[in-house]
Every structure is written in C-alpha cells, then in structure tokens.
Structure 1
Amino acid sequence: MNNPEVVLHYIDVLLKENNFTKAAHELYISQPYLTQLIKRIEKKLGTQIISRKQVPFSLTSAGVIYYKYLEKAITDQQCLLQNLLPYVHPDNDIIKIGILESLGTFLLPELLPNFIKENPNTKIQLIENVPRSSESQLLNEQIDCYIGQTPEALTKGIKFYVNGGERYFIIISPKSKYFQKGKFILKPNEYNLKEILQAPFVASAPGSAIRHQLNGIFQKFHVKPNIITESKSVITVTNLAIHGLGLTISAASIIKRMAPTPINLLPIDPKFIRIKYFIATKDARKISPTLAKLITDFCKLQLEPDIK
C-alpha cells in the first residue's frame, strides 16, 4: 500500500472504531487484510504505530511521527499536482485566488459555479489565508487575485473592484445582561454603543479584516477592549458569542449559517463599520482575459446579504 491518503484514512477509521473487524467493515475490506497491512507498516518502520492492547486505540509516539509524515506526503503530492498543471494541461487557464476561508464559504458559491460552467478550460486554485498574507502573495505574484472585505485597509500597489457589502451586528446571547426576551433585531439606538463595547467580547484573531474593523471601533469610542478569547475562525467566534461566552461583532452572511437560537442582534451604524466586498489584483500587472472575465462576473453579483 503506497497511497498515503488511503493509509491515513485506514488509520483514522481504526482509531475511531477501536476494533479491526468493525474498521474493516466500514472500509469495505477484510479484517485480515487490514490487520496485515498495519503489521507490514510496523515491520517496515521497525516499531509499533498503534497501541491496541486497550480501548481506545491510540497512536504511539512513533505513530504520531508516521501520521504527520503521511499528512505531509499528501500535502506535498497535492502541491506537486498543482504546480504541474500548466505543463499537464498547457491549454488551460489557471487562476490562483487568495481568500479568507470564512469569506469564501459565502462568496465563492455565488461566483465560481457559473464562471466555471462558462469557462470549462479554466482551473481554479484556492489559497486560503489571512488578509495580510493574501496581500503579500498578491504583490509577490504568487496569486492572481485576492477576494476580501474592507478595501480601505489594503496596502499600496493593489487595484480593487468593490461590489456589495453588508452591515455588522453585535450578537447578544440570553446569558448577557443586555439580552431582551422576545426580540430579535433591536433598534440601532436601543443601547449606548460605547457601553456595549465595554462588555466582555470574543473576537477574530489579529490579522483578520473583521478584527481590524473591531479594533477601529474600540479606538473610535476610546474603549479598552475586554477580549476573553480569540479565534482565527469568525464562525467559531460567532458560535461562542451565540452560546454566551461574550459579545461579538458578526455579519448576516455568517449569522444565517448558525442553528436558530434565541439571540438579540444590535445593528451597528454603517458609518462606523461596514463590510465592502472586493476582488483585487496587483496594480499595473497585466491580467489574462479569463481573469478579466472573473472580475467582471464578480462585479455583476448581487452581494447584499441581509437578515430579518
């Protein structure tokens, strides 16, 4: 068995089931085959990789090293295939898009399906990263375009095209003293914003566009932020706020993905902070006709998510 992706999957299932027979059944292979495969790997490595004398099964210290080796082998193989694309398919256009993962879950389904349908010879490579990293990759020509929010924060040398946007809300859970039972979207002037901003907050990690804006509104109101915890994922942050760890600022496109639960949403005046979606390229860099088409398609989208 030379396929690291398959071996990794077999190990994952075995660790989940804690039983060779059950794992083999889920994998649609025979139990003797799975048992012998693990034994062959351990014989080749010269050490045990899975401790199976007691339940639950676990990776040995050597097994952890081997597991990480398999993950790296899979990543390296994927990178190799991506780098070979221009040579394997010389007639295809390749567009490398930088984007924040949480933003991509909303914007890319709106943009890519129709674009790919109309441009079947185009291959899209997604490079998911925090905004500053995407900007750096764009300027260094490691990616062809960058899709993000808050164009005001972009560095020099980047040309951008804005389309649509949405307003932010402060999420107030039933565990907060500010929660109002029987209400969903509060009036913008329901509370003094400066007072609300002094409450405990959960926040996106530094480097994200939303954190940049959050810091800006704290500074505008001369409030020292009381950040309880941070996460790279705005979805995680939103969920933590919904379940009462603290308040947070989130957007309709994120909140709508959460399971329905009693919360208050306090709209923030757009003059303070607002999302503006954009697609950007390196200024003065020549772009291909296919990338120009992608930009045109982006600008035609109706990107105004709302929540009621």
Structure 2
Amino acid sequence: MSKLESQDILCYIDSLLKYSNYSKAAQSLYISQPYLTKVIKKVESQLNCELITRSRLPYRLTEQGKIYYQYLTSLEHSYAKLVREISYVSDIGSRILRIGILPSLGSYLTPLFLPDFLKLHPAYKINLVEDIPEKNEKRLQNHELDFWIGQNSSSISPNLNSVSWGRHRYRAVIPRCSELYRNNAAVIPEGTFDISTILRQKLILTSKGSAIRKQIDQLLSVYKIQPSIVMESNEIRTVLKLAKHNMGVTIVPESVHIDECASEYNIYPIPIDKMSLDYFIAHHGERKLSGDDHDLIHTFLNHGQQCAV
C-alpha cells in the first residue's frame, strides 16, 4: 500500500467515525459518496472482515478495524519519521519551511507576509502544500508540515498551537435575480438587512465541510431556515462567479476580491457580530520554536493586526 493510499484511507475512516454517515463523511472529504463506499468495501474485501459497525449509531471500529486502524497509524508515524530524516540529510546547508494552506486562501494571505519574512531570512525556501484543511491538519499532526495557515482556529485539534489575526468579516454578493438587489448600488450599507433575510434568498454556497459552510449551516439552524440552495461548489471563486452571473446570492470572506459592478450585483458587508472568521497560523504543540519561527509568526500577525476589525 502506498503512502498516499494509507493516508487517504485513514482520513476516510476518521470522517466516517466522526459523522456516522457516508454522505456527510464524503462531503467533508470533498469526494463522492459512491467512491467512499467503494474504497471501504474494497479494503474490507481484501482483509475479509468488517472494519466499521454500521448497524447502529454512532459508527464504531470493529475489533479487526481497531487492528487495521493501528496499522495505518503506525504507517503514518513511520513515514513522517522517514520524511524528517531524509529532509535533514537533504537540507544540510539550506533551510526550508513547509507551510500548508488552502489554495484560495494562499493567493490572498501569502503575498501579505511571506515577502517580509524572506527579506529577514533570504536563505529560506518556502514549500507551500496547497490542500483542503483536513489533510493539512493531519500533515501538521504527523510533522510533515512546519506550519499550517487556515481560518476559524476554534475548530482545530487541541494538540496544535495557533495564533490568530483577529476577526474579519464576510460579504454577501446580491445579484439582480434577488429581491434584495438595489439598482446602481455598488455597496449596500452594513446593517440594512438582517442575516436571516440574506439566508432566505436563493443561495450559491461552498460545499459542506468548508469553514464558510459550517458557519452558514449553524446560522440556518439558529434561525430555523430551510435554505433554497441552487448550487454548491468546492471552490470559493466558482460560487462567486456564479453569483455575479445572476444565479443566486452567495457569501464570501473579505479575502476574496470582488470588483464593484452596481449594474449586475450589490456587495453587502455582513455585520461582524453575526458572522466572522479569523485567520490563524498553527504549529504542532511539540515543536520547539526557533527565532526564525517567531519571525514568521510575527510577520503573519503584523499584517493581521493592520487588517483586523
């Protein structure tokens, strides 16, 4: 079994145990439910046993499943050790920082602080690992990353230490098809609408499992709203383009640039007390921070303090 396969299967099992539902687990992993079912059945067929009890909730590992899970975990630790040892030999005389980040977030955040860090430490090489949060968090826990940059630090594992920029706002994009659209208004003043009014529109949303979607789903639950979701996408820029092209209202973080176009859509800043996010940089709790590490964190925070509400 390859490293990629073992890591993926471990993530799949973790998600199934977390959600006790194949559809929800697949959505959190950004894969299809049939594919997830096929992978688990294939492994169970190869091992000639059931890995997870699915006859009652919540899902639990069978005794055979516990042995297999321990095996996968040992592979993760062994591979992480291998990577560290090879990196140590390969990087003698050079310095490398491995940073995990969501691709859409990286295009906004990294230009703000990495150039300043590299001015202080020009000998460093930065390896960006652009992937979904679940996988980068797992890499950080396995010491395959030095740092992980994400949003909404309250949801990360307790064995990771993080520092945050502070709260930042979201903005709604309201196209002409919405009853809330106002002619020739590039930006509608904050406080004009209640958040529940926004959520009752036809919506274009990011897929379940994303940081934005978790907050939106929580608000839908609080206001007891059955949403009208026209379309979902894993990519934030896709939902933005669809909203701009009059398919429905969407909500995006301020990190995503939006050109003003009053004739096609309005931009509405959502009150930060209703919905907000915080950008964070995290490291493993066992990592002993060097002076260079502190410089990286400082340059990250320096720009965050300038931008935070």
TM-score (norm 2): 0.66
1:144-183 alignment to 2 at 5 Å?
A: 144-183=146-185
CA contact (8 A) 1:86 1:92 kept: no
Structure 2 counterpart SS, 1:227: strand
Counterpart of 1:214? 216
CA contact (8 A) 2:114 2:299 kept: no
Instruction: Compute the displacement of 1:184 (Å).
Output: 2.3
Instruction: Compute the displacement of 1:84 (Å).
Output: 6.6
Structure 1 counterpart SS, 2:137: helix
Distance change in 2, residues 1:134/1:88 (3 Å): closer
**Aligned-partner residue type, residue 294 of structure 2:** A
1:184-199 alignment to 2 at 5 Å?
A: 184-199=186-201
Distance 2:298 2:206 in 1: 31
Instruction: Compute the displacement of 1:261 (Å).
Output: 5.6
Distance 2:146 2:234 in 1: 24
Instruction: Compute the displacement of 1:252 (Å).
Output: 2.7
1:27-46 alignment to 2 at 5 Å?
A: none
Instruction: Compute the displacement of 1:173 (Å).
Output: 0.8
Structure 1 counterpart SS, 2:143: coil
1:301 equivalent to 2:303? Answer yes
Distance 1:142 1:85 in 2: 10
Consecutive unaligned residues of structure 2, counting only runs of 5 or more, are: 1-84
Counterpart of 2:115? 113
Counterpart of 2:235? 233
CA contact (8 A) 1:253 1:305 kept: no
Distance change in 2, residues 1:304/1:203 (3 Å): farther
Identity of aligned residues (%): 30
- Larger Rg belongs to: 1
CA contact (8 A) 1:172 1:265 kept: yes
**Aligned-partner residue type, residue 200 of structure 2:** Q
Task: Kindly provide the CA deviation profile for residues 3-51 of structure 1, in whole angstroms up to 9, marking residues without a partner as x.
Answer: xxxxxxxxxxxxxxxxxxxxxxxxxxxxxxxxxxxxxxxxxxxxxxxxx
Structure 1 counterpart SS, 2:256: helix
Distance change in 2, residues 1:305/1:140 (3 Å): same
Distance 1:260 1:180 in 2: 12
Instruction: Compute the displacement of 1:155 (Å).
Output: 2.3
Task: Kindly provide the CA deviation profile for residues 233-258 of structure 1, in whole angstroms up to 9, marking residues without a partner as x.
Answer: 111111111111111111233133x4
Distance 1:269 1:134 in 2: 30
Structure 1 counterpart SS, 2:255: helix
TM-score (norm 1): 0.66
Counterpart of 1:281? 283
**Aligned-partner residue type, residue 112 of structure 2:** E
Distance change in 2, residues 1:290/1:192 (3 Å): closer
Consecutive unaligned residues of structure 1, counting only runs of 5 or more, are: 1-82
Distance 2:171 2:256 in 1: 11
CA contact (8 A) 2:186 2:260 kept: no
Give the number of equivalent residue pairs: 225
Counterpart of 1:203? 205
Structure 1 counterpart SS, 2:181: coil
Distance 1:293 1:148 in 2: 18
Q: 2:136 aligns with which of 124, 134, 137?
A: 134
Distance change in 2, residues 1:113/1:147 (3 Å): same
Structure 1 counterpart SS, 2:189: coil
